[in-house]
């Protein structure tokens, strides 16, 4: 397979991983999320607070957080061998602590291809700056 063909295949695998990830988040499917998130995964929320893979999975397992709706847009994938940097936007409906709210995030993710499978290893969330500020 050519390098271009391999890169196109990797991009398709990563797109499929994101679609599966959004579906797993909306279903609170801990088993599916366990396959997507690397064991050493770390996420920094929009306040800079770190969450480990174990903390995230526990929040879904306990029902502490739910995502009834996730709409991803503007996703861009940049490949660097067995590393990928992915960024885009999400419009989420969130339920936590008895509250329901909508939020828009920008995200920057790092993925590694380990043993032939892409895994999410790190994420940073931010809230976009409002136009005109």
- Express each pLDDT in 8-66 by its tens digit: 999 999 999 999 999 999 999 999 999 999 999 999 999 999 999 999 999 999 999 99
Check residue 20 and give its pLDDT: 97
Check residue 64 and give its pLDDT: 94
In the numeric block, the tokens 């067995």 are attached to: 82
131 domain-assigned: no
Q: Which domain holds residue 39?
A: 3-126
Q: Which pairs from 108-117 meet CB under 8 Å and 24+ separation? A: 109/85, 110/83, 110/84, 110/85, 110/86, 111/14, 111/17, 111/83, 111/84, 111/85, 111/86, 112/38, 112/82, 112/83, 112/84, 113/10, 113/82, 113/83, 113/84, 114/38, 114/82
**Hey, which residues does 106 pair with through a beta bridge?**
89, 126
62 domain-assigned: yes
Check residue 48 and give its pLDDT: 95
Q: Give the mean pLDDT of the chain.
A: 93
68 domain-assigned: yes
Distances (CA, A) of 53 to 6, 35, 58: 29, 11, 9
pTM here? 0.90
50 domain-assigned: yes
| Domain CATH code at residue 69 | 3.10.450.50
Kindly state the tokens that stand for 101: 């709210």
133 domain-assigned: no
pLDDT at 77 over 80: yes
24 domain-assigned: yes
Sign of the CA dihedral with 113 first, then 6, 76, and 83 last: positive
Please give the tally of structural domains in the chain: 1
132 domain-assigned: no
């Amino acid at each position: 397979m050519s390098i271009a063909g391999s890169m196109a295949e990797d991009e398709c695998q990563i797109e499929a991983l994101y679609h599966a990830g959004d579906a797993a988040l909306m279903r609170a499917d801990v088993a599916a999320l366990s396959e997507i998130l690397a064991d050493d995964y770390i996420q920094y929320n929009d306040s800079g607070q770190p969450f480990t893979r174990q903390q995230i999975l526990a929040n879904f397992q306990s029902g502490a957080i739910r995502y009834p709706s996730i709409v991803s847009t503007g996703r861009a994938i940049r490949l660097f061998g067995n590393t990928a940097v992915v960024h885009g936007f999400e419009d989420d409906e969130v339920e936590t602590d008895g509250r329901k709210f909508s939020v828009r995030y920008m995200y920057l993710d790092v993925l590694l291809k380990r043993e032939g499978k892409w895994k999410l290893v790190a994420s940073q969330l931010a809230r976009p700056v409002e136009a005109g500020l």
